[in-house]
Amino acid sequence: MRNALSIAGKELRSYFVSPIAYVVLTGFLLLGGWFFFNLLARFNFLLSIYSAMRNPEAQMRLNLNEFVIAPLLHNLSVVLVILVPVITMRSFAEEKRSGTYELLLTSPLSISEIVIGKFLGCFAFLLVMLGLTAVYPLILLLYGNPELGIIAAGYLGLLLLATAFVTVGLLTSSFTENQIIASVSCLVVLLLFYVIAWPADTAGPLLGAVLKYLSLTEHFSEMVKGVIDTKDLVYFLSVIVLALFLTHRSVESVRWR
Amino acid sequence: MIEVRNLTKRYGDLVAIRDISFTAATGQILGFLGPNGAGKTTTMRIITGFMPASSGTVKVAGYDIFDDSYEVRKRIGYLPENPPLYGDMTVVSYLRFVGRIRGIAKAELGDSVDRVLHKCGLTGVTGRVVGHLSKGFRQRVGLAQALIHNPSVLVLDEPTIGLDPRQIIDIRTLIKELAGERTVILSTHILPEVSQLCEKLVIINEGHIVVEDTLENLTREMSLEQVFLTYITRDTATLRGTPAEEATA
């Protein structure tokens, strides 16, 4: 475990000594801020219209969770589909290209320690990234009264979703020594699982259910609505564990090929 | 100390090394010699546990590289042909990182780093970023990395390549100092280096061993250059003369 933490620490540090961390964080917060501003502006606009129309019923239906937080989290999840591959692309590919892979594999480390270390490094960066977006709900909490429980469930969903993204990114990075191939293939896989449920309604009951179950978005949407269901938790954890296991296998294959 | 037995490595149809056996005793500096592409790096990568052999065994300090890979890796310091450096780290943070993953206890880490900094002449560049260092310094950081856990076996893959004459002399002196209780395998194709450093010689050509003997025995009648050229030329001629027989061997 100490070894895994050493690798995680090295990973996290390498993000912040290179421009990657700052570019990714700035881009993420810039887009997040733009989404938040526009959602809030639309919310205010609707509120003023409904009160001008003296329509208390419609006004009651407007709430911050549904009209600001939920779409914000959905938008952020799309941005993560694009940014996570950038975060994870170097993890293994860079080591292979620069020859430091030899250092890692000839050190007395187990492959699990290497994979877990890499994972924890990316995960810590993810926490920083998502942590910084907490400023948006905090503003809402200061000036309005959104439901805290729903926000928490939504954020848990976003964290699980992004963690699953990270593990897929680690897997594709472990296949290649080319960072572009690593990031593009990760992006394609993530996008595919994002939209895999599109034909669900026309695909027949069984296939439709399978596609819906596979879709990252379906499970995420449930959590954004504030529903924490074991089914969704199990789904995300399975994706994370499976991708980490395959990454382990992929790294191991270099040693025993 | 190091015992290599019948090592063979195939990449698909390509046979990189074929039936290689040699031994290096404790405290010995073994020169691993051969033309480019002869299989030196492949052999070293197998000895250090980076990749497995197709067949054959390696024993380091009594531990088998396949069964006790972990124990072997703890005892080996390895400098690959391209020093495995993280360009964005400073020299000290890099060495501390390597020390940690090599299993040095936290309390001893500072001392170990200081020791190799002094040994490799890096005290003037401790805070510099590795990626900004000159080739010579990078090579020294690579060597420091291989020494940090005080390994009993050192595997050095062309450690002096690309250095200026003074740096070469520095590194050679260092390797000589390091030997003592350590076993060193030194791969190179620079012959004077071998005659200055090594007690024992293994010459490898096209993936198999041509000769294994002490430097003294080999250079009794001719110079090292002559020995090298004679063995390599004779061997290549035999291989070319009877290709079918060799391919099935």
> Residue A55: what pLDDT?
80
- Cα B175 versus chain centre, distance: 11
Cα distances from B57 to residues A11, A110, B23, B30, B133, in angstroms, run 35, 21, 12, 18, 38
Instruction: Kindly state the average pLDDT of the residues B35-54.
Output: 90
Stretch 13-52 of chain A: residues touching chain B, C-beta under 8 Å: 13-14, 17-18
- Per DSSP (E only), the strands in chain B are 2-11, 14-24, 29-33, 55-60, 63-64, 76-79, 153-157, 183-188, 200-205, 208-214
pLDDT band (50, 70, 90) for residue A154: very high
Domain segments of chain A as ranges: 2-255
Q: What is the ipTM of this complex?
A: 0.87
Query: Is some CB atom of chain B closer than 8 A to the CB atom of A253?
Result: no
Cβ separation A102–B102 shorter than 8 A: no
| Rounded-to-integer distance, Cα B177 and Cα B118, Å | 13
Listed range (A213-217, B14-18, B242-246) with the worst mean pLDDT: B242-246
Give the pLDDT score at B234.
86
Give me the pLDDT at residue B248, please.
40
Gyration radius from chain B CA atoms: 19
- With beta carbons under 8 A apart, name residues in chain B contacting A98: 82, 84-87
Helix pair A2-17, B91-101: axis angle to 10 deg: 160
Q: Using an 8 Å Cβ cutoff, are B205 and B197 in contact?
A: no
| B51–A255 CB contact, under 8 Å | yes
Q: Is the dihedral of CA B221, B215, B120, B88 positive or negative?
A: positive
Q: In what order do the strands lie in the sheet with B153-157?
A: B76-79, B153-157, B183-188, B29-33, B200-205, B208-214
Is pLDDT of A146 > 50?
Answer: yes
* Domains present along chain B, CATH in parentheses: 2-248 (3.40.50.300)
**CA-based nearest distance B221→chain A, Å:** 40
User: Distance from B197 to chain A by nearest Cα, in Å?
Assistant: 25
Residue B128: pLDDT above 50?
A: yes
Q: What band does B245 get if pLDDT is binned at 50, 70 and 90?
A: very low
What distance in Å separates residue B51's CA from the closest CA in chain A? 5
Burial code (b: 16+ CB inside 10 Å, e: under 16) for A29-55 equals bebbeebbeebbeebeeeeeebeeeee
| Distance from C-alpha of A216 to C-alpha of A67, rounded to nearest angstrom | 22
pLDDT over 90 (residue B37): no
Render pLDDT for A86-142 as a digit per residue (tens, 0 to 9): 999 999 999 999 999 999 999 999 999 999 999 999 999 999 999 999 999 999 999
- Interface A–B counts its CB contacts (< 8 A) at 73
- pLDDT number for residue B239: 81
What was the pLDDT predicted at B166? 86
Cβ distance A11 to A121 under 8 Å? yes
Burial of B182 (0-12, 13-18, 19+ CB in 10 A): buried
- The pLDDT tens digits for A32-80 are 999 999 999 999 999 888 888 888 887 778 888 888 999 999 999 999 9
> Which residues in chain A have their CB less than 8 angstroms from residue B89's CB?
10, 13-14, 17
For residues A150 and A213, the answer to whether their CB atoms sit within 8 Å is no
Looking at residue A34, what is its pLDDT? Answer: 96
* Sequence-separated (6 or more) residues with CB below 8 Å from residue B149: B74, B77, B99, B102, B103, B104, B112
Nearest-5° Cα angle at B83, B77 to B85 = 100
Give yes or no for residue A150 having a pLDDT over 70. Answer: yes
Closest CA to B65 of B10, B141, B9, B143: B9
**Is pLDDT above 80 for A191?**
yes
Q: Taking the mean position of all CA atoms in its chain, how far away is CA B105?
A: 26
Name the CA dihedral angle for B243, B245, B248, B249, rounded to a multiple of 10 degrees.
Answer: -110
A98 Cβ under 8 Å from any chain B Cβ: yes
Q: pTM of the predicted model, to two decimals?
A: 0.90
State the pLDDT at residue B34: 86
Distance, in Å, from the CA atom of B19 to the CA atom of B232, rounded to the nearest integer, reads 17
Give the residue-averaged pLDDT of B179-187: 87
**What span, in angstroms and rounded, lies between the C-alpha atoms of A167 and A116?**
10
Cα separation of A132 and A17, whole Å? Answer: 19
- Give the CA count within 13 Å in the CB-facing half-sphere of A23: 9
